[in-house]
Structure 1
Amino acid sequence: MIEASGLSSISGIRHGFFTREGGVSDGIYGSLNAGFGSSDDGARVAENRRRIAAQLSVDADRLLTIHQWHSADTVHADKPWNVRQPPEGDAVVTDRPGIAVAVLTADCTPVLFSSGDGQVVGAAHAGWKGAIGGVLGSTVARMKDLGAKDIHAAVGPTISQLNYEVGPEYRAQFVERDAASERFFIPSAKPEHFMFDLPGFVRTRLDDLELASIEDTALCTYADEQRFFSYRRTVHRGEGDYGRQLSAICIKE
């Protein structure tokens, strides 16, 4: 479990960017795969999530993920739900102690949030579609609706620019929205292709929200196979599926 120093300094909360280590799954899912959306054995995923919940000191049925679909939708978790049939969204917030809000990633950017007093927390899944579509602003707005002030953010492990090659049509979607986005793309070795700085883009979107602080773990999921699952690494190897790591935050009871 990786912690951000800024969030760790806020009393009354627990958080963690969990790695792929310390679970019971094997093969391409080895070992702490937390995604029921994978083809891993469901009982093993449930045990992995139970272990994560225990590290956060919450009950396993109060470790809440959502059905992520690369949107800007934010869900308010005011009570537990069935994580096998969760609500749709790409961010989840709560003001209820003992509920851990969480997102699953395997290259996309997880961002954890807390108000300065630790009374409102949130987790966002910022893939490129969600990041460009406003999921981070949506998360902060929903937290403010719940009374959050002096919001702090931490950016978790995600794919780095060095390992994220994209085509010209991808770059065009960013530049057409904002010409300044061109700075997040550098030419790759492949003609008319680019290397995209997803974490840099996410940090800039967070900067626009005028938060109290932003911390970046600066860890690459693609490069560090021992600690992280990576969707893109799986595709490059021709593997049929991939595991998901979980990032979570909660208010202590």
Structure 2
Amino acid sequence: MQLIIPDWPGLPPNIGACATLRGGGASQGPYDDGNGGGGLNLGSHVGDQPAAVESNRARLDILLPASPLWLTQVHGHQVVDAGAGASAGGVEADAAIATRPGVVCAIQTADCLPVLFADVNGAVVGAAHAGWRGLQGGVLQNTVARMRAAGAGPISAWLGAAIGPERFEVGADVLAAFAEVAEAGRERLETEACFTPIAQRSGKYLADIYQLARLALRQADVQNIHGGGLCTVSDRNFYSYRRDHVTGRMASLIWLK
């Protein structure tokens, strides 16, 4: 199994975190590792064989204190307590927090941005799924607010792998959606600067999802931000919906030990 262990200075020793890559599982093409080997697809909703997904999740569980709470992600901004467990119909949300040891927060992605959060006092952790709709809707700010309501002190964040700024083509509607919620003045200018017009393609832009996330986090008074810069579209070690359309899902996970 291939994992990314976040380079996250100042992470308290009682917090565990990791992110999966594409290889090291039981899934076959188009959910494989990109080279004909088994893929570690963790998404049960993408058309992969259920037995393969179950096997992949079981392999991951060996490395964790417990099975994660797998959310039904809808590109929204709802935040739940992972320790509350799942109902019979699942949990529809795009972020989760945990306040008890052994409770694992998990986010699935294949181009959207996963963001992990840690209270520097080691009391609260969180994870958020930040596609552009979730970012625009305030999923990161909501996660920070929920952590603070649970007693978190200063919060730091780590940005996982996502579609890079040279590959994330969007329309004018996306720029307009972000500009609409930005305050006039400096905040509006900083937001608009995250969108680069594409020459000879009127109304098309390259968006920097990493910078949009940093702006959102700073608006929530999170200044200690790490990670960012890995492009899921360019690097075939990652699943990418934009690149492959039919593909698997990776996970970014965090927990209290």
Amino acid at match of 1:87: V
Tell whether the 8 Å contact from 1:72 to 1:89 is kept in structure 2 after alignment.
yes
Q: 1:40 to 1:249 in 2, by over 3 A?
A: same
Aligned residue number for residue 20 of structure 1: 22
Alignment RMSD (CA, Å):
1.7
Q: Report whether the alignment pairs 1:246 with 2:246.
A: no
| Identity fraction in percent | 38
Aligned residue number for residue 223 of structure 1: 234
TM-score, scaled to structure 2: 0.89
Aligned residue number for residue 198 of structure 2: 188
- Aligned counterparts, 1:57-76, within 5 A: 58-59=65-66, 62-76=67-81
CA displacement at 1:5 relative to structure 2: 2.4
Amino acid at match of 1:243: G
Aligned residue number for residue 232 of structure 1: 242
Cα distance in 1 for partners of 2:145, 2:51 equals 36
Q: Report whether the alignment pairs 1:208 with 2:219.
A: yes
Cα distance in 1 for partners of 2:11, 2:146 equals 23
Q: Which runs of 4+ in 1 moved over 4 A?
A: none
- Aligned counterparts, 1:60-99, within 5 A: 62-81=67-86, 85-99=89-103
Amino acid at match of 2:63: Q
Q: Report whether the alignment pairs 1:110 with 2:114.
A: yes
Tell whether the 8 Å contact from 1:7 to 1:153 is kept in structure 2 after alignment.
no
CA displacement at 1:149 relative to structure 2: 0.7
Q: Report whether the alignment pairs 1:33 with 2:41.
A: yes
Cα distance in 1 for partners of 2:121, 2:105 equals 17
Unpaired stretches in structure 2, ≥5 consecutive residues? 33-38, 183-187
Aligned residue number for residue 63 of structure 2: 55
Q: Name the structure where helix makes up a greater proportion of residues.
A: 1
Amino acid at match of 2:73: Q
Aligned residue number for residue 35 of structure 2: none
Tell whether the 8 Å contact from 1:93 to 1:120 is kept in structure 2 after alignment.
yes
Cα distance in 2 for partners of 1:222, 1:14 equals 27
Tell whether the 8 Å contact from 1:120 to 1:148 is kept in structure 2 after alignment.
yes
What CA deviation, in whole Å up to 9, does each residue of 1:162-208 have, x standing for no partner? 00111222222222333322111112242331111111101111122
Tell whether the 8 Å contact from 1:16 to 1:248 is kept in structure 2 after alignment.
yes
Tell whether the 8 Å contact from 2:11 to 2:120 is kept in structure 1 after alignment.
no
Cα distance in 1 for partners of 2:108, 2:136 equals 19
